[in-house]
């Protein structure tokens, strides 16, 4: 039987965290079962990553009940996407709202997305832009990309493709795959096909398969179908 977590020295904890994946996972589970909110949130993410969404949802809820904001955001994601629980867009939006008002940039981004789309809450694009800007100020690259869409499409603010292109470039540099695609798209429109290809390659490294499918189709029907070969 292992020692209680609170009796383990910091040195032993560090050693186990630097050990095998199995040792790290075991330590995180011990922490979760001992009631450590951070460990509960991490354990929930590990379970989600391995396909046990129902158990992940339960652990996220345990951590959220202790005020862990990322866990609360993940409870919202579970409700939003049906991970381990039936889809409930209004509950998802409420989780995001609380996490946002308590200062979590991912809560701000997700709540802003819900407001922009009218997903679980009445559509409110001005409020969405305000939350995206708050998240962007904290360095959230996905929020910066979404702000670019507001400027490109003229939502709430006047249409400004120069501002949009700048946002997409920032989001791309920040590692957001949607920002990387949008930056590539703008570069292609300006005639810089080499730059566009380079950013599409980077986009393909982290984008979801669903996003890549849409991107391939878009490129196939664009003025630059040859750029599709930049994607995996």
Domain ranges within the chain, ordered by starting residue: 1-87, 100-138, 141-232
In this predicted structure, which of 10-14, 68-72, 87-91 has the lowest mean pLDDT? 10-14
Residue 226 scores a pLDDT above 70: yes
- CA separation for the pair 16, 118 (Å, rounded): 45
Residue 218 scores a pLDDT above 70: yes
Over range 208-219, report the average pLDDT.
98
What is the predicted pLDDT for the residue at 40? 93
Residue 14 scores a pLDDT above 80: no
Tokens of 14: 């560090």
pLDDT tens digit string along 145-191?
A: 999 999 999 999 999 999 999 999 999 999 999 999 999 999 999 99
Q: Taking a C-beta distance cutoff of 8 angstroms, is the pair 136, 143 a contact?
A: yes
**Of all helices (H) and strands (E), which one includes residue 180?**
helix 177-189
Over range 33-48, report the average pLDDT.
93
Q: 6: helix, coil or strand? A: helix
Is 182 buried (19+), middle (13-18) or exposed (0-12) by CB count in 10 A? buried
Render the burial of 207-230: b for 16+ CB within 10 Å, e for the rest. Answer: beeeebeebbeebeeeebeebbeb
Q: Taking a C-beta distance cutoff of 8 angstroms, is the pair 150, 129 a contact?
A: yes
What is the predicted pLDDT for the residue at 1? 41
pLDDT tens digit string along 108-134?
A: 999 999 999 999 999 999 999 999 999
Tokens of 182: 């949008």
Residue 38 scores a pLDDT above 80: yes
DSSP 4: P
Over range 11-15, report the average pLDDT.
61
In the structure, what pLDDT confidence band is assigned to residue 19 with cuts at 50, 70 and 90?
Answer: confident
């Amino acid at each position: 039987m292992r020692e209680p977590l609170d009796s383990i020295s910091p040195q032993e904890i560090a050693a186990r965290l630097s050990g095998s994946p199995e040792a790290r996972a075991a330590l995180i589970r011990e922490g979760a079962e001992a009631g450590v909110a951070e460990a509960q949130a991490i354990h929930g993410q590990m379970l989600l990553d391995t396909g046990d969404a129902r158990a992940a949802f339960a652990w996220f809820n345990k951590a959220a009940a202790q005020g862990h904001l990322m866990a609360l955001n993940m409870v919202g994601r579970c409700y939003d996407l049906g991970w381990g629980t039936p889809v409930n867009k209004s509950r998802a939006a409420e989780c995001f709202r609380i996490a946002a008002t308590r200062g979590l940039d991912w809560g701000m981004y997700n709540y802003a997305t819900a407001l922009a789309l009218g997903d679980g809450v009445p559509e409110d694009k001005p409020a969405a832009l305000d939350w995206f800007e708050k998240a962007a100020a904290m360095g959230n690259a996905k929020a910066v990309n979404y702000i670019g869409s507001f400027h490109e499409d003229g939502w709430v603010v006047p249409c400004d493709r120069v501002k949009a292109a700048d946002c997409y470039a920032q989001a791309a540099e920040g590692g957001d795959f949607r920002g990387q695609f949008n930056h590539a798209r703008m570069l292609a429109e300006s005639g810089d096909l080499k730059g566009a290809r380079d950013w599409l390659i980077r986009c393909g490294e982290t984008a979801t398969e669903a996003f890549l499918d849409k991107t391939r189709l878009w490129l196939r029907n664009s003025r630059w179908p040859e750029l599709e070969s930049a994607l995996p």
